[in-house]
Amino acid sequence: MLAVDALDLDVRRGEIYGFLGRNGAGKTTTIRMLLGLIRPTGGGLEVLGQRVQPGATAAFARVGYLVETASAYPNLTVRENLDIQRRLTGAPRAAAAEVIELMRLGDLADRRARALSLGNKQRLSLARALLHRPELLILDEPANALDPAGIVEIRELLQALVGERGVTVFMSSHILTEIAHLVDRIGIMHEGRLIEELDRDQLRAKERAYVDIGVSEPPRAAALLAAAGFAHVEHAGDRLRVYDAQKRVPELARVLVGAGLDVTELTQAREDLEAHFLRLTGGAP
């Protein structure tokens, strides 16, 4: 099976693009191709208008990236790691202090990287990616190992970079609720192919309303509802989901109670990105 198969992807300037897929779907392979770390066997790629090919490095001076896992020189301090990255990228001397403040690493600036927690190593890697004020950020799981407060900080940081500096962000993440809050568009990969691409409005339109029911004898309840004309009934454990029934809730309750079933809960709800993703791919991200 091909790792990435006939992928056609267009990321617009100044947007946050969420790149989703189950483990093994081809996300990291795609990101590594975008960065010129591996070569595709067919087709081509452009980054910031320049074709990605051996020896063509000009575009990457305008790109910041974080791929797979956080990395740093373990025996050097946070400040020393950033100073090396600054010299490599040609960033001004003030850049290291700027990203230390931006990523809230001030209290850790003189600590060796090997002594950092996983979350703070991730912060350091993001600081390195931002050091030279890139036009494009390519991020593979940027919220990995961060606590909930850190995840919110990264969300606000990325939104500020896009809103204030016009940065383009291409990111993969398995935290689908966070992606839904953050992105302008999503692309969903499955088995090497891009199977769906949606903007934020299209995603909201895809969210399906349903009635969530806790009821005794769920199989019998599902059969009764189907017989009463409720066409989309799903049975999961001791609960039922009845789709497209939000205007028929009183009738739904009458059918179940009238048949002598105990209804313990009946709530109107709406599917989110995670449920949509699972329906498309049949598994966890």
pLDDT at 108 over 90: yes
Amino acid at 266: L
Mean pLDDT, the chain, whole residue set: 87
Residues spanned by the domain of 28: 16-204
pLDDT number for residue 137: 94
Instruction: Please give the Cα distance from 16 to 169 (Å, whole number).
Output: 5
Are both 257 and 133 inside the same structural domain?
A: no
10-57 confidence digits (pLDDT tens): 899 999 999 998 888 899 899 988 888 888 888 888 888 888 877 667
User: Are 120 and 200 in the same domain?
Assistant: yes
Number of domains in the chain: 2
Domain boundary among 187, 204, 221: 204
Tokens representing residue 196 in the block: 């769906």
Q: Are residues 177 and 216 in the same domain?
A: no
Q: Could you tell me the CATH number of the domain that includes residue 46?
A: 3.40.50.300
Q: Which of 175, 204, 233 is the last residue of a domain?
A: 204
d(CA 39, CA 200): 32
Residues 222 and 271 grouped into a single domain: yes
Is 268 part of any domain?
yes
What are the tens digits of pLDDT across the range 62-79? 999 988 777 889 999 999
Is residue 284 very low, low, confident or very high in pLDDT (cuts 50, 70, 90)?
low
Q: Is residue 11 part of a domain?
A: no
* Whether residues 141 and 226 fall in one domain: no
Mean pLDDT for 254-282 is 85
Closest CA to 28 of 69, 73, 61, 63: 69
140-150 pLDDT per residue, tens: 888 877 888 88
The residue among 169, 204, 239 that closes a domain is: 204
